Structures are given as C-alpha cells and as structure tokens.
Amino acid sequence: MATVLKRVTEDRVSVSVPVYNFPHSVADPATRLTRGQQMEFSGDVTRIDGDKIAVSLGTMVMVNPDKVRLVQSHVPPKRRGLRM
C-alpha cells in the first residue's frame, strides 16, 4: 500500500511507498485520487535481498516482505514433447 502525497499533473500523482524513502510518481488518469488516500501497487518481484524485496514498478523499489502479498504465483512454462 502507498499513500497519495499530492497531484503532480492532471494525470499523475506522487505517492509515498512504505520503506522506500523517495516519492514515486504514478499515472492516475481516471480514478482521481486525492491526498491521503491509500493505493495498492502490483508488480513483479525481481529479487530478494535478505530482509528486503525488490519489486518492479517501472523502477526498482525495495520494500519489506510484510508489505508484499502474492497475487499470482509463478508457473513455469510447460515443455512440449519433441515431434518426430
């Protein structure tokens, strides 16, 4: 979860992500978020470094594991048999 800090432009807002010490700008063309509202991000986990998890949100954001929840588990591609 992230908290909306302010509207940057007509279609972008600045948000504060827990543990990530920099504001992050995201597109908000339709929902019209306002300051103080909570927002949930979804992205791919790219790396786990000890007590931090790197999530791809356009840029890499390091967060605590308790701020991440599994939405869809990774399923490896199925291999096809060789055709003769």
Helix (H) or strand (E) holding 73: none
Distance of CA 27 to the CA centre of its chain: 13
Is 53 or 82 the better-scoring residue by pLDDT? 53
**Which pLDDT value is given to residue 17?**
79
Q: Residue 29 is encoded by which pair of tokens?
A: 């063309």
Whole-number mean pLDDT of the chain? 81
pLDDT tens-digit profile of 2-42?
888 988 888 888 888 777 777 878 887 677 788 898 888 78
Mean pLDDT, residues 54-74 taken together: 81
C-alpha 79/C-alpha 15 separation (Å) is 41
**Which pLDDT value is given to residue 84?**
63
